[in-house]
Amino acid sequence: MKRLFTGLALVAVVFLILLLPVTADPDSAVASEVSAASDEVSETVPDKYFISYIVQRGDTLWDIAGTHMSDHYPSVYHYIQEIMESNHLESTVIKTGQMLILPCYDI
């Protein structure tokens, strides 16, 4: 019983260490720089999420990209590459009824 209690206490301590944020002195230069950098990143990086899409008869990856691609991508080619990577596609051939995962960004 004592071993079980010790094991559970150890797990709880590790759990708390991993979950509790590390706090730094707010007046320190490093904390200020990290805070400023994280604010800067959060303002410039849109949230990425994925949606599912069922391929319709006659669809091509270019049609799908034209409908779902945001301004985040420099070109249709880059968006199609990400669709292919997200869906483990080895070619641009898709079939009616196939489910695709499409990357999207909140703007």
For residues 103 and 60, membership in a common domain is answered with yes
What pLDDT band is residue 72 in, cutting at 50, 70 and 90? confident
Q: List the CATH number of the domain containing 91.
A: 3.10.350.10
Overall number of domains in the chain:
2
**Global pTM exceeds 0.75:** no
Region 17-44 average pLDDT: 54
For residues 37 and 76, membership in a common domain is answered with no
- Selection from 22-31, 55-64, 69-78 with the highest mean pLDDT: 55-64
Name the residue range of residue 18's domain: 1-45
What pLDDT band is residue 14 in, cutting at 50, 70 and 90? low
Tokens of 44: 């410039």
For residues 58 and 69, membership in a common domain is answered with yes
Task: Please write down the HEC assignment for all residues of 51-97.
Answer: EEEECCCCCCHHHHHHHHCCCCCCCHHHHHHHHHHHCCCCCCCCCCC
